[in-house]
Chains A and B, each alone.
Chain A
Amino acid sequence: MELDAKIPGGHLKDKWDRHRFELKLVNPANKRKFDIIVVGTGLAGGAAAASLAELGYNVKNFCIQDSPRRAHSIAAQGGINAAKNYTNEGDSIWRLFYDTIKGGDFRAREGNVYRLAQVSNNIIDQCVAQGVPFARDYGGLLANRSFGGSQVSRTFYARGQTGQQLLLGAYSSLSRQIAAKKVEMFTRREMLDVVIVDGQARGIVVRNLVTGELECHEAHAVVLATGGYGNVFFLSTNAMASNVTAAYRAYKRGALFANPCFTQIHPTCIPVHGTYQSKLTLMSESLRNDGRVWVPRDMGDKRQPHQIPESERDYYLERKYPSFGNLVPRDVASRNAKAQCDEGKGVGDTGLAVYLDFADAIKRDGKDVIEKKYGNLFQMYEKITAQDPYETPMMIYPAVHYTMGGLWVDYNLMSTVDGLFVMGEANFSDHGANRLGASALMQGLADGYFVIPYTIGGYIAGTSFPEITTDHPAFKDTAKEVRERTDKLLSIQGKRTVDDFHRELGLTMWDYCGMGRKDEGLEKAKKKIQELRGEFWENVLVPGNDKDFNQSLERAGRVADFLEFGELMVTDALARRESCGGHFNEAYQTEENEAQRDDENFCHVAAWEYTGDDKEPEFHKEPLDFENVELTQRSYK
């Protein structure tokens, strides 16, 4: 299979303009003759469903939660980047592009990332027009803050609830289109397969999570905006329902999966505290603007933090990276925290934590200022840990947070299956091997508001569609397969619960395919996952029946897919014989323990093709060409 990313020709700065001009258009009056399915109502899906409906298409929009407003995007805290340069620090589209490419450790496409930086400014305009209450300065203009991996303040925010406010903005536009009957909204639905007719994605099979009924829906194109797969690790900062199912089902129907091993471990999360724990809580990275990270200088120092004098503390990020200090990118900050704990300098009951200390910031700016910036985060921390971060330093540890890998898409956001588009965290396209803070919100909204509305038109205008209905055999066959799988899950009636399997899978992934990877560990993980998967299909216990609101059954389906997908991640990690960004194979590091890339052999996207159950997937390569930036060893010193 030839992977053609369809990057338009011409100079980087002109590509998107040129492409928009060259894309075929659907006549305004004809748009209402076309139906588009959008799965997901996060920033990507919500923005796309609203925008496509505004253009006149008939949209069917699906989500798992009881309301589109509750998609996982709602939890994003810190902010969204844009190249507005309102702060006059010398920011530009080029700089945002460059920072994002470099932050991704040169494993993303120049063309896509440049487009992302270009439309970033339109996003802020659009959101403000919707009434998103961004933070403002005294003069009433928009405020900015800085984020990891950047030396300019370009992050727009709404207290610590930026994702919530952006999502509610998209949701309000979506609601307006639902009221206008241009979007038909299906909540509490889980997509369990995509239906392909004559090589084109023409519909989906969903389970109505309340009644258990399987429903078939047809359309002229299908857009997946189903989020990331971080929950393969069981514990992550993702919402409980975040899953790989939609993407993985598409993979099994022929869409290639790109760079699945690229996962992001976020440096500032509340540490794990018990085996009953169901998820991890992020403390926004924006805290690193004012918080100082440290550990005791000496191993095994068990004193309380305030008893440790300044001279016996090691502010290791400031020491090792004087120019970026506490604001190094996430992968660097996470690996350093792990290294400190591995050396026995970790703090807290488990020794798996480092301090994030606000004492100096409070002394400098006053408690009021700190409270205004981070009040809700401090409150959340106190609720969970029963400790007051104004008085005693926070304890933090890295946790799985974001997945850069995803379904392979071309410049039009179309996967290797005709008519199947993928947006937001579910695709792989813009963040390379590591995502910079405040750029996922940017990407989701860019894809939804400003990319897909054009590119899907190009596809529809240039494609002929056979007339079909859900009576077509492809729908019947796909629905039958879905039903058989559900029946199988319920019929096993084994001894171990779904969560029990999920937890074990998560531990395996964390230990062997997490922050530091080794070949032996990865090989071991592969075997363990295969065994666990085998046991799952013989010994899982799923209570209840399928004609019901059955949350155990929902989770069972998701975990079954994670048990296959986890192996794909490991396969990908083993194949990438270098370290880059979030993929750190300990065999490939510089003398200073930084990720050592191998640009000669691995400057490519690894895209995997499904070849059958229990068969090795087939590897495809999309070489990455860098014409505008020079590949350098990332340095944040």
Chain B
Amino acid sequence: MSETINLTLRVWRQKGPRTQGSLETYKAIDISTDMSFLEMLDVVNEELTVDGKEPIAFDHDCREGICGMCGVVVNGRSHGPEKGTTLCQLHMRHFSDGDTIFIEPWRSKAFPVIKDLAVDRGAFDTLIQAGGFVSVNAGGAQDANCLPVPQEDAEKAMDAAACIGCGACVASCPNASAMLFVGAKVSQLALLPQGKPEAAQRALSMVRTMDELGFGNCTNERECEAECPKEISISNIARLNREYFKAGLFSSVM
């Protein structure tokens, strides 16, 4: 049953990428426990607006846990306390009356803050551009059923492909590594016959680009897997390492 709670919010406010930010305090009053976290922020923003203050900037779009646009650190946890849940799918019934909630942006060199809680994740697009695709032009494909894929492989590929590119893995990692994100894409395509011809090139190029963009190294902390809202498995990182190793050993595309 729905009830209402009162909360204290400590929210990171920062005017722009090059300005200093700080935590500001706001009250969130009469919050229905059926609200989503973002709807709670909407309510606070409406009040700030009416009071002549600037509302809190935060990214969001689908509010269904699929676009990967939302994401902040809630009480030190990426996307908040619920496992396997994006911020937009987190509901206020997981908080209690009187709680103080700390709300901060993703923090990583590769994701500079744009304003308040919104960050620039363009580095993820650059990573995909480095090889997260199969080189096939529109028009030339053969009949789809000419290429059977064992169901198990297809399912595993789908598990990896479920990544929404939100960046929580990077934000949660002590090294700000993007290995889970890259591992998911490399795995999806390595598991499918379509991805095989370019597998070596892909693994090498994506890993190299990851380094260039300022993401850190993976030291097996497993925070990424724990905080990933789509529960992408770190077995994808192991597969990425194998693909990378294989590419280095057997290919001429270094």
Contact = CB atoms under 8 A, between A and B. Distances in A.
Contacts of B189: 131
B20 interface: no
A469 B54 CA distance: 38
Contacts of A499: 42, 46
Nearest to A172: B133
Interface string A128-163: 111101111111111000000000000000110101
Q: Quick one: which of B35, B39, B133 has the most chain A CB within 10 A?
A: B133
Q: Quick one: which of B36, B93, B124 has the most chain A CB within 10 A?
A: B36
A530 interface: no
Q: Tell me whether chain B's interface is mostly helix, strand or loop, or mixed.
A: loop
Contacts of B93: 386
Interface residues of A, number: 80
B114 A450 contact: no
Contact of B49 (A86, A187, A281, A543): A543
Contact of A176 (B2, B135, B140, B145): B135
B138 A131 contact: no
A125 interface: yes
10 contacts: A50-B138, A125-B142, A158-B158, A179-B129, A187-B125, A277-B39, A278-B38, A278-B63, A497-B49, A499-B46
A67 B124 contact: yes
4 closest A-B pairs by CB? A140-B148, A172-B133, A129-B141, A125-B141
Given A130-B136, A543-B52, A66 B62 contact: no
Interface in B126-162: 128-130, 132-145, 147-151, 154, 157-158, 161-162
A463 interface: no
Contact of B133 (A127, A130, A274): A130
Contacts, number: 215
Q: Quick one: which of A134, A450, A549 has the most chain B CB within 10 A?
A: A549
Interface string A402-439: 00000000000000000000000000000000000000
A74 interface: yes
A122 B138 CA distance: 9
A499 B54 CA distance: 15
A74 B62 contact: yes
Interface in B91-121: 91, 93, 114-115, 118, 120-121
A173 to B, nearest CB: 6
B80 interface: no
Interface of B: 2, 16, 32, 34-36, 38-39, 42-43, 46, 48-50, 52-55, 57, 59-69, 85, 89, 91, 93, 114-115, 118, 120-122, 124-125, 128-130, 132-145, 147-151, 154, 157-158, 161-162, 164-165, 188-189, 192, 194-195
Interface string A216-244: 00000000000000000000000111000
A175 interface: yes
A356 interface: no
Interface of A: 47, 50-51, 54, 65-70, 72, 74-75, 84, 86, 122, 124-131, 133-142, 158-159, 161, 163-165, 168, 171-173, 175-176, 178-179, 185, 187, 210, 239-241, 273-274, 276-279, 281-282, 380, 383-384, 386, 449-450, 453, 495, 497, 499-500, 541, 543-544, 548-549, 551-552
Q: Quick one: which of B52, B57, B144, B195 has the most chain A CB within 10 A?
A: B144
Contacts of A179: 129-130
A612 B59 CA distance: 36
B60 A384 contact: no
Given A126-B138, A176-B129, A131 B192 contact: yes
B122 A187 contact: yes
A75 B138 contact: no
Given A66-B121, A86-B145, A176-B133, A240 B194 contact: no
Contacts of B48: 543
A276 B192 contact: no
B192 A47 contact: no
Contacts of A278: 36, 38-39, 42, 63
Nearest to B143: A125
B42 A70 contact: no
Contacts of B65: 380, 383
A128 B194 contact: yes
A70 B138 CA distance: 21
Nearest to B125: A67
A75 B145 contact: no
B188 A552 contact: no
Contact of B35 (A276, A279, A497): A276
